[in-house]
Amino acid sequence: MNEELGLTHLIKELEAVFEQFPDKRSGKNSRYKLADAGMGAFSVFFTQCPSFLARQQELKQQKGRSNAEKLFELREIPSDNQIRNLLDPVDPMYLGRFYRQTYQALEQVGVLKSFRSHADQLLVVLDGTEYFSSKKIHCENCNHRILQNGATNYFHSVLTPVIVQAGNEHVISLEPEFMVPQDGQEKQDCEIQAGKRWLEKHGEYYAKQGVTILGDDLYSRQPYCQAVKDKHLHFILVCKPDSHPNLYETADYLAAQGVLASKVVRKWNGRYAEIQTYRYANKLALNAEPPALIVNWCELTTTREDTGEQLFKNAYATDFEITDTTVEAIVRDGRTRWKVENENNNVLKTKGYHIEHNFGHGEQHLASLLLSLNLLAFLFHIILDLVNEHYRAIRQALGRRRTYFQDLEALLRYFFFDTWDDVFLFMFHGLELDTG
């Protein structure tokens, strides 16, 4: 395991970021360091134990030491209310550099090499999700919508970019972008504006890394496609007939003339044969209004050979040239965008991270900062699964994610450990595992 991606090193690097948080306090109210507040909140998300800090405070009082100090570098253990008060003024942008450092470490040790797809590209999916909703609680950074009964619903949303790959269960989180009130009332306005800000902040850097942007039909409009091209990134974006009538009229005309390229592939899925029919064309106008962006288009329809039942149909706009040789890989990568829902958003909402739970809203940035720390906790566990053989073997042996976190909670409550390696070795040997 590379030391830079070891959990102890990652926590020290994160602590260094916390120490750079701006602190406007003075006088008697500065007992607790902002770094302790940040790491305290992170420890709760990482262990998925809401009572972790309270339990560690009890250990400290009874035994004079705690795992919070040894494993999470806390000098003092603040209460939940103290954490919320201390972190509320801190903009989550201060965590941005940690994502970049982590990406660079993953690249340097070769982890990201195994994530590369068509044309040696990394696939980055953009997708928005809500993480807070209330009819009463709100702050200056809340968006809002008027419900049918006239009530106001306040909510927070965030764009959660992740690196994905077909056939790979892991996703790697990149810098999030928060949707703010001035983005507009409609979801698509908010999400696209956040997507454009993400490109402005990070597009140039990731273009140098070889990145293709994936997204649903919302993103395949000319302004966003042009913004992606302006940053020298590639794109494979869902492209539906209802939102791109001009492009589909052209494709239908080419099909009627018998010049629309096609490719048919038969595949056995273990139970029955599937017929995959690809249609594609290069250099089509994305819309009817000049100057129209020129894109390449491909479509996949999958049917059962025995019954003719349609199993799947979708189409994509891309800047990659499409040929009989490349069409399968391009469609495969385009379809991979669903992983941002299944492997990222769904896990964050239903598998212990509970990002839709109100951990603390505050009056300024608290909700967004806590969401950022929760995303980092998820990223830490992904990294451990990628690079730490003991951790990976433990997770596989225990099966359910919740079982692992229940065991971790119990161990950190009753035993003391000097390092995270000691924690994982204890669990590894206790389960009598072998990495082979």
Q: Facing residues of 317 across strands?
A: 237, 297
Q: What's the pLDDT at 4? A: 82
Q: Is residue 105 part of a domain?
A: no
Class of residue 426 by CB neighbours under 10 A (exposed 0-12, middle 13-18, buried 19+): middle
Would you give the distance in Å from CA 265 to the centre of its chain?
Answer: 33
Q: What's the pLDDT at 348? A: 87
Residue at which a domain ends, from 295, 312, 346: 346
Residue at which a domain ends, from 283, 317, 346: 346
Residue-wise pLDDT tens digits, 273-306 = 999 999 999 999 999 888 999 999 999 999 999 9
In terms of domains, do 204 and 235 share one?
yes
In terms of domains, do 310 and 173 share one?
yes
Q: Is residue 98 part of a domain?
A: no
Flag whether pLDDT at 181 surpasses 90. no
Would you give the distance in Å from CA 170 to the centre of its chain?
Answer: 10
Range of the domain at 251: 111-346
Residue-wise pLDDT tens digits, 185-200 = 555 558 999 999 999 9
Q: What percent of the chain has pLDDT over 90?
A: 79
**Would you say 171 and 340 are in contact if contact means Cβ atoms under 8 Å apart?**
yes
**Would you say 251 and 279 are in contact if contact means Cβ atoms under 8 Å apart?**
yes
φ and ψ at 400, to 5 degrees? -65, 135
**Would you say 281 and 296 are in contact if contact means Cβ atoms under 8 Å apart?**
yes
Q: Is residue 182 part of a domain?
A: yes
Q: What percent of the chain has pLDDT over 70?
A: 97
In terms of domains, do 82 and 176 share one?
no
Average pLDDT, the chain: 93
Residue-wise pLDDT tens digits, 118-164 = 999 999 999 999 998 888 998 888 888 888 898 998 989 999 999 99
Q: Is residue 436 part of a domain?
A: no
Q: Is residue 103 part of a domain?
A: no
In terms of domains, do 206 and 332 share one?
yes
In terms of domains, do 75 and 125 share one?
no
**Would you say 160 and 129 are in contact if contact means Cβ atoms under 8 Å apart?**
yes
Q: Per the structure block, which two tokens stand in for 403?
A: 């079982």
Flag whether pLDDT at 337 surpasses 80. yes
Residue at which a domain ends, from 313, 346, 379: 346
Flag whether pLDDT at 1 surpasses 60. no
In terms of domains, do 177 and 298 share one?
yes
In terms of domains, do 147 and 282 share one?
yes
Q: How far is CA 363 from CA 89, 157, 201, 295, in A?
A: 8, 16, 26, 45
Q: No. of H helices and E strands in the chain?
A: 16, 13
What would the DSSP string read from start to end of 206-253? HHHH-EEEEE-GGG-SHHHHHHHHHTT-EEEEE--GGG-HHHHHHHHH
Q: What's the pLDDT at 357? A: 86
Residue-wise pLDDT tens digits, 379-407 = 999 999 999 999 999 999 998 999 999 99
Model-wide pTM > 0.85: yes
Tokens 């972790």 label which residue?
52
In terms of domains, do 135 and 205 share one?
yes
Pick from 112, 105, 107: nearest CA to 5: 105
The count of structural domains within the chain is: 2
- What's the pLDDT band for 169 if we cut at 50, 70, 90? very high
Flag whether pLDDT at 335 surpasses 70. yes
Query: Do you find a cis peptide bond into 245, omega within 30 degrees of 0?
Result: no
- What's the pLDDT band for 314 if we cut at 50, 70, 90? very high
Q: What's the pLDDT at 213? A: 98
- What's the pLDDT band for 250 if we cut at 50, 70, 90? very high
What would the DSSP string read from start to end of 63-92? HS--HHHHHH--SS---HHHHHHHHTT--G
Flag whether pLDDT at 340 surpasses 60. yes
In terms of domains, do 149 and 249 share one?
yes
Residue 347 or 322, more confident: 322
Q: Is residue 106 part of a domain?
A: no
Q: What's the pLDDT at 185? A: 53
In terms of domains, do 273 and 379 share one?
no
Find the range with the poorest average confidence among 35-39, 54-58, 239-243, 356-360. 356-360
- What's the pLDDT band for 424 if we cut at 50, 70, 90? very high
In terms of domains, do 249 and 117 share one?
yes
Q: Facing residues of 318 across strands?
A: 236, 296
Q: What's the pLDDT at 358? A: 86
In terms of domains, do 238 and 303 share one?
yes
Q: Is residue 48 part of a domain?
A: yes
Q: Is residue 351 part of a domain?
A: no
Cβ neighbour number for residue 417 with a 10 Å cutoff: 16
Q: Per the structure block, which two tokens stand in for 56?
A: 């560690």
Strand 152-159 to 162-164 pairing:
unpaired
What is the domain-level CATH number for residue 309?
Answer: 3.90.350.10
Flag whether pLDDT at 267 surpasses 70. yes
Tokens 């590894």 label which residue?
428
